[in-house]
Structure 1
């Protein structure tokens, strides 16, 4: 299963690079969890969660980013900033890149600032 996730993470990173973002880190892991991609978008850090759904019976991929997952991503982002002080002055946001097999998987749904630092999905 990890191989499938890695494939879509690479696709998302390539897509975001084509949109002008620069990769800072991938698969940043802490005891709280993992952030799939950390990208620089102009002067903002985008912490990116990549989701893929092969079937729609449980809803779209974007809907799989639960409140609990958002909390884990936020904690990981805090850890990243604590361990990488050079990035602490940059404004941050949390993006979601969603791929759904029942849609055109070559063009992901990119939700910029999908959730904020304190609440759920915007």
Structure 2
């Protein structure tokens, strides 16, 4: 906030709120498809680690690690283009860290959910197995 108590346009709070709404929309969509929430906003310890927005269990028992991306404009390629190789590496790092708790990890996949929050309701696109852990 500035000295007048006004919040600057495009502030982190509005970005955080928009991201939360996108995650809520993605979760509702996935749950409607029969997936069950396991964890939300899973983070690895330490700096430079990774984060996974949603971890769900699919009907077949697979763990599904979901990255939710939202953009309010298609400039620069939109939400899908914002998941570059470094972001993918961090998601994979976090997924591997999460799987360390299992003696025998279940089958899993890395999905992406793209959310367009410009309309009401939000438009949601689910990309199953969007990238590999290679």
TM-score, normalisation: structure 1: 0.86
The answer to whether residue 92 in structure 2 is matched with residue 74 in structure 1 is yes
Gaps of 5+ in 2: 1-14
Instruction: Provide the residue aligned with 1:85 in structure 2.
Output: 102
RMSD over aligned Cα atoms = 1.8
The answer to whether residue 75 in structure 2 is matched with residue 57 in structure 1 is yes
**Higher-Rg member (1/2):** 2
Gaps of 5+ in 1: none
- Richer in strand (by share): 1
State whether residues 22 and 68 of structure 2, in contact with CA within 8 Å, keep that contact through their aligned partners in structure 1: yes
Q: Which runs of 4+ in 1 moved over 4 A?
A: 101-105
Of residues 33, 46, 56 in structure 2, which corresponds to 1:39?
56
Q: Matched residues in 2 for 1:116 and 1:103: separation?
A: 31
Give the paired residue count: 116
State whether residues 68 and 113 of structure 2, in contact with CA within 8 Å, keep that contact through their aligned partners in structure 1: yes
Q: Matched residues in 2 for 1:5 and 1:102: separation?
A: 12
TM-score, normalisation: structure 2: 0.79
Q: Matched residues in 1 for 2:76 and 2:120: separation?
A: 18
